Amino acid sequence: MSPMNGIVFDVQNYAIYDGPGIRTIIFLKGCPLKCQWCQNPESQLLLPQMSYFEEKCQACGNCMTACPNNALSLINGKIIRNLSLCTTCGTCISACPNGVMEKIGVVRGLDELVEIALRDKPFYDNSGGGVTISGGEPTTQIDFLLELLKALKNQGIHTAIETCGYFNENLISELVKYVDLFLFDIKLVDTNKHKKFTNVFNEKILTNFSKILSKVGSERIIPRIPLIPSVNTDINTIQQIIAFLHNVNYNGIIHLMPYNKLTKTKYEKMGMESFHKDFGNLTDSNIHEITKLFEQHSYEVIINH
């Protein structure tokens, strides 16, 4: 695909928890990790996908009749999609009277996205905000990502990316030119545990963090720690993270991202219900304790609910 087009699965305005000021977030599809707690399961695959909201489906069969590839069948009042036949052409979306089908991931042009982002420029300017590019993992579409960042910078817009940190370290020198702020996920320091929960080892991630940090300083990179009950919320794990940040001489702020368990419907819509896992509840006192630990090590903490 041309670097002037990207596969985008959402654009959100008035984001107030993902970087400074009022921001627009552009979500790019595709991610090299497969975190068990993933909040955006629709973001994992690079390709466009169809989602299906069974609860709203009246089983009228209109979509089945309309599908040019015979990819749909109606079984027990439910539409089943044959993924090898479906071309995500979207005919079923317009055929459905109940808005049950949705295409996740649409090819969108760079100019169009920049224009959308520019519409909110008065809000960025007044609040010190800008655009955050998230995912998935935005570097999965690296060519497009760089073009988009350049275009935004040309318009005088502050840029941030939200990254899992799992990318080739050769990209760093280009990224630091166009990214004003890195929102960088640190999930676990123990690499075996990391592999178990995210499907990848974390050496690359930790190295990238320290490399970027050494280039841009603590003002332009913020570690974001998703707090997943029974995965990384115990004192020991948190202390490992603190120790890592100390070792690499990080002295900026910390974002804590408490686990959101209300994602079941998202998994169901994508036909991924078998991958959904409930990690249970995070208590206020748990968050408080973790915050305290960071603060004892002179880190300022922002909790992003």
Check residue 129 for interaction with other proteins (CB under 8 A): yes
Comparing CB distances to other proteins, the nearer of 10 and 174 is: 10
**Least CB distance to other proteins at residue 262 (A):** 10
Comparing CB distances to other proteins, the nearer of 190 and 300 is: 300
Check residue 275 for interaction with other proteins (CB under 8 A): no
Comparing CB distances to other proteins, the nearer of 13 and 230 is: 13
∠ at Cα 201 (252, 282), nearest 5°?
60
Check residue 98 for interaction with other proteins (CB under 8 A): no
**Least CB distance to other proteins at residue 68 (A):** 18
Judged by CB under 8 A, the chain residues 4 through 33 that form the site for other proteins are 11-17, 21-22, 24
Comparing CB distances to other proteins, the nearer of 99 and 217 is: 99
**Least CB distance to other proteins at residue 203 (A):** 31
**Cβ contacts of 72 within 8 Å, gap of 6 or more:** 63, 64, 79, 80, 81, 82, 86, 92
Comparing CB distances to other proteins, the nearer of 23 and 29 is: 23
- Out of 119, 177, 195, 288, the only residue in the binding site for other proteins (CB under 8 A) is 119
**Least CB distance to other proteins at residue 200 (A):** 25
Judged by CB under 8 A, the chain residues 167 through 186 that form the site for other proteins are none
Check residue 136 for interaction with other proteins (CB under 8 A): no
- Out of 41, 50, 258, 276, the only residue in the binding site for other proteins (CB under 8 A) is 258
Check residue 267 for interaction with other proteins (CB under 8 A): no
For 43-78, b/e burial (b = at least 16 CB within 10 A) is: bbbbebbbbbeeeebeeeeebbeebeeebbeeeeee
Check residue 302 for interaction with other proteins (CB under 8 A): yes
What are the φ/ψ torsions at residue 257 (nearest 5 degrees)? Answer: -120, 90
- Out of 91, 127, 191, 210, the only residue in the binding site for other proteins (CB under 8 A) is 127
Check residue 123 for interaction with other proteins (CB under 8 A): yes
Residue closest to 255 by CA, chosen among 278, 221, 215, 206 = 221
* Burial category of 153 from C-beta neighbours within 10 Å (exposed 0-12, middle 13-18, buried 19 and up): middle
**Least CB distance to other proteins at residue 274 (A):** 24
**Cβ contacts of 237 within 8 Å, gap of 6 or more:** 188, 189, 190, 231
- Out of 58, 70, 94, 265, the only residue in the binding site for other proteins (CB under 8 A) is 94
Residues near other proteins (CB under 8 A) are 11-17, 21-22, 24, 94, 97, 119-120, 122-123, 125-127, 129, 258, 260, 282, 302, 305
